[in-house]
Amino acid sequence: MSLIRGSRLAVMLLGPATWYVAGCAPPVQEAYVPSAQVTALSPENQESIKKVLTEYCGTVERPKLLGQPDMNPNHLKQGAAVYKQYCQQCHGVTGDGNGPQAAYMIPKPRDYRKGMFKFTSTIYGSKPLREDILRTIRRGIMGTSMPSFDLLAPQDLEAVTDYVLALTHRGELEALLGEAAEFDGKIDAAAVPGMVQGILDQWKEARVNVVNPRAPMPALTDAHVKAGKDLFLSIGCNKCHGDEGRGEVTDALPNDSWGNPNKAADITAGMLRGGTDPLDVYRRIEAGINGTSMPAFRSQFENEPEKIWDLVAYVMSIYDSRRNGIIPPSIILKPLPGVATGQSEPAASGSGE
């Protein structure tokens, strides 16, 4: 080991050409690492969980996507290769959000294993659509270290999306197996297909959980901006975001569901993470943001969904105000094609900007 380290050091000091001369950089064997929940179990349970996970989800070299036994293995291998090149340094080999670059990042790269995603087109608590994950990968998450990968070839984008799903499902199954071992003391092989089906059913359900505006989007005029600002102050948005929407409140929010510190967004910073289409903002307000303190306001506006558009108008009027040097401007926005009717498809928000 020290010999290898020594030669690596020599490579660093002497430059890349000596890498080949030194000739002793061994191929790193990558493998999925078990969760903390699993490593706390007995060695026998750890072994049986590993066996089930390998059977259903494969290995780093031969990954499998849960519930898609007929998927071309080369498609997922391509996804794994893209992931290794572009994602792993942040999201980790296992998708636990713990890559070597993650340590000092705020917010942390997503730990996919919980099967929970923030920027979805679905209601609070629901799984995302596959398109939601693909859209996030294409446009990145503004204001965080998550880059945009819009320039990758379309097949690479499709493949890495399926690989993210493979890691996600693997993590979800691992957690269910871990719970079963904690609860029953062992893994009952006969129970595994039911666990797998349970996971897949939740993902299928996302289709019926899509949030489409319940009121058509109006032209977002000054009057809507003003009504939105009044609501912002009267229904408690300001308790977390501050009166000016700058996220400056003294009370700390509880950690997010991944165990990391969570801060209310500075809505004036020009960086809406979930996208800047009015439909994106509508969905954030109606459906909240999974895993964070940002609540869903659906029930509050059950019978007056048009008021959500007032809040959207206000958010749209201030979100870029710091970059523009004006706080808060009132602007008049034209309705987007496809959104005006309230009938738009979820893909409509994926403009990839």
Q: Interface with ligand HEC includes 265 (CB under 6 A)?
A: yes
Q: Interface with ligand HEC includes 81 (CB under 6 A)?
A: no
Closest approach, Cβ 203 to ligand HEC, in A, equals 14
Q: Which of residues 294-313 bind ligand HEC (CB under 6 A)?
A: 294-295, 297, 311
Nearer to ligand HEC, 199 or 312 (CB): 312
Closest approach, Cβ 226 to ligand HEC, in A, equals 15
CA 75 to chain centre: 22
Nearer to ligand HEC, 128 or 178 (CB): 128
Closest approach, Cβ 153 to ligand HEC, in A, equals 12
Q: Interface with ligand HEC includes 98 (CB under 6 A)?
A: no
- Residue 90 and residue 110 in contact, taking contact as beta carbons nearer than 8 Å: no
What gap in Å lies between CA 145 and CA 55, rounded to an integer? 34
Closest approach, Cβ 206 to ligand HEC, in A, equals 13
Mark the segment that binds ligand HEC (CB under 6 A) among 9-17, 58-66, 68-76, 267-275. 267-275
Nearer to ligand HEC, 216 or 247 (CB): 247
Cβ-Cβ contacts under 8 Å for 314 (sequence gap 6 or more): 224, 225, 227, 228, 229, 231, 232
Closest approach, Cβ 302 to ligand HEC, in A, equals 14
Closest approach, Cβ 210 to ligand HEC, in A, equals 15
CA 166 to chain centre: 14
Closest approach, Cβ 179 to ligand HEC, in A, equals 23
What gap in Å lies between CA 289 and CA 256, rounded to an integer? 10
CA quadruple 24, 25, 27, 30: dihedral sign: positive
> How many C-beta atoms surround the C-beta of residue 241 within 10 A?
21
Rounded to the nearest 5 percent, the helix, strand and coil shares of the chain are 50, 0, 50
Nearer to ligand HEC, 22 or 81 (CB): 81
Closest approach, Cβ 84 to ligand HEC, in A, equals 10
Q: Which of residues 157-196 bind ligand HEC (CB under 6 A)?
A: 160, 164
Q: Which of residues 105-164 bind ligand HEC (CB under 6 A)?
A: 105, 107, 109-110, 117-119, 133, 136-137, 141, 144-147, 149, 160, 164
CA 123 to chain centre: 15
Size of the site for ligand HEC (CB under 6 A): 50
DSSP state of 35: P
- Residue 82 and residue 163 in contact, taking contact as beta carbons nearer than 8 Å: yes
Q: Kindly tell me which residue out of 253, 336, 340, 347 binds ligand HEC, with binding defined by CB under 6 A.
A: 253
- The torsion defined by the Cα of 153, 79, 122 and 53, in degrees rounded to 10, comes to 180
Cβ-Cβ contacts under 8 Å for 327 (sequence gap 6 or more): 244, 268, 318, 321
Closest approach, Cβ 186 to ligand HEC, in A, equals 34
- Residue 53 and residue 45 in contact, taking contact as beta carbons nearer than 8 Å: no
Q: CA-CA distances (angstroms) from residue 112 to 19, 195, 235, 332?
A: 35, 18, 33, 39
Residues in contact with ligand HEC by the rule CB under 6 A: 86-87, 89-91, 101, 105, 107, 109-110, 117-119, 133, 136-137, 141, 144-147, 149, 160, 164, 232, 235-237, 239-241, 253, 262, 264-265, 267, 272-274, 281, 284-285, 289, 292-295, 297, 311, 315
